[in-house]
Structure 1
Amino acid sequence: MTLEFEHRPSESAWVERVWRSRSTDTTAMTSIARIHWDLVFWEDADGMHAGIQGPESRASEAPVPAQAEFLGVRLTLGAFLPELPVPELVDRFAPLPGDGRSFWLGGTRVRFPRFETAEDVVLGLARHGVVSRADPRRDAAASERTRQRRTLAATGLPHRTRRQIQRAAHAAVRLQAGDSPSMVAHELGYFDQPHLAHALRRFVGRSATELATAAGEARPLSLLYKTEADTDR
């Protein structure tokens, strides 16, 4: 079974990454934990659809519509929906109403985006106040407890959990590239290989062996890539 992803980083202050994919014979995938939330669009035999996939605190099995094409817009950390707080989206998918050409979010009608210009959709939502963003300048003068409370409200995940998710994703990318589990555990600050194995199972849903070989390909993984924040232990 295959579920290949094409993705690109974004220079937008609102968008972290844009991705697209296509399902063929795939009916389920392992959705890895992640700290961002996505706007997701897909086309299948029933037409065009839209939804919001919230941050995910753990790896889980997710259904995949057959013979469908997907487009995802992953928002930057700290972007949130004033009418739908991000903590309410954690480990949840929220479908959005649409008419085949456009979708509605926060009372705003928006045309379905394209891969090349997906950022325009988020900018339009931001102009209408549908999407907002945490202000780092305000947080700079706040206490650590206040910053953590604001970040939790904007991201839905505690700081410690976000770091664990990012580190596990970084470990998975390195294991897929051929690095040894012992090297990855040592260089990314895990206590030992069992500690690494526990993190991989919890946040990625794969063992080190499955990531390094074809053993885990019976059910494909969701989008996995290295980010600048991956080096933060």
Structure 2
Amino acid sequence: MKFAFNTRSTNSPFVEMFWQTHTNSTGTFISVAASNWEMVITTIDSKTRIIARGPETKASEADFPADTEFFGITFKLGTFMPHLPVKTLLDRQDVIFPESSSGSFWLHGSAWEIPTFDNADVFMNRLIHQGILVRDPVIETVIQGQIPDLSIRSLQYRFLQATGLSRKTIQQIERAHSAVSLLEQGTPIVDVVFKLGYFDQAHLNHSLKRFVGKTPAQVAQTNPG
């Protein structure tokens, strides 16, 4: 099953995007590696759960239930909650926030109204205002190719604190996604290897199998253009 996503962007430097989708039947899908962490609100049989979902460092098979509404807030790299280390959420070590009452949940010792796709900006602004959600601007600076005046050790620490990942892992994941995009556009495999700086086709093959769960040939066959 391919999910039909409704997404919207935001001007917030803390948030990558808001998204929502709905499932009609049960099934499985390949959950690909991702550098960003999210808050995901799921509603099934009128029961809502709020989940903190961390980055994923490898592709894996995941199940989904029928008749479920999903709404997610994907955070920009460098955005984090100091009281909830991102590294503790890696690879499906999700945290489910406890319910406070109907329509609210507990977060960092306070009851919060469950956000919706339409009012999520207000929810984000409150988290930021109260210091529950913060961002490290150095992360974005480095990702954009600028070199800050910091030691390698300090930079490594800040990446781990703010993203839960090393800079190298983030680069590997993002390069794999770029490779998939090129293959979906019909770019020949040998050209993808050259354009993205893989050592050879075997290197690309290993990367995509690890991070997206498919070989380059499988990606190209699925999306013949």
TM bucket normalised to smaller = 0.7 to 0.9
Structure 2 residue runs of 5 or longer lacking an equivalent are 142-146
2:155 matches 1:154: no
SS at match of 1:114: coil
CA distance in 2, matches of 1:204, 1:8: 24
What are the equivalent positions in structure 2 for 1:129-140 lying under 5 Å apart?
129-136=131-138, 140=148
Shift in Å at residue 135 of structure 1? 4.5
> TM-score under structure 2 normalisation?
0.87
Structure 1's 204 and 40: CA in aligned 2 closer, same or farther, altered over 3 A?
same
- The Cα RMSD (Å) is 2.0
CA distance in 2, matches of 1:166, 1:135: 19
CA distance in 2, matches of 1:63, 1:100: 27
- Aligned-pair identity in percent equals 36
SS at match of 1:52: strand
SS at match of 1:48: strand
Structure 1's 131 and 27: CA in aligned 2 closer, same or farther, altered over 3 A?
same
Shift in Å at residue 46 of structure 1? 4.5
Structure 1 residue runs of 5 or longer lacking an equivalent are 216-233
> TM-score under structure 1 normalisation?
0.84
2:15 — aligned with what?
Answer: 15
Equivalent position amino acid for 2:38 in 1: D
CA contact (8 A) 1:3 1:24 kept: no
SS at match of 1:35: coil
Structure 1's 143 and 41: CA in aligned 2 closer, same or farther, altered over 3 A?
same
Shift in Å at residue 201 of structure 1? 0.7
CA contact (8 A) 2:59 2:210 kept: yes
Aligned length: 214
- Deviation by residue 1:47-104 (Cα, 9 ceiling, x = unmatched): 2211011011111122212111111101111111111111111112111122441222
CA contact (8 A) 1:3 1:26 kept: no
CA contact (8 A) 2:25 2:65 kept: no
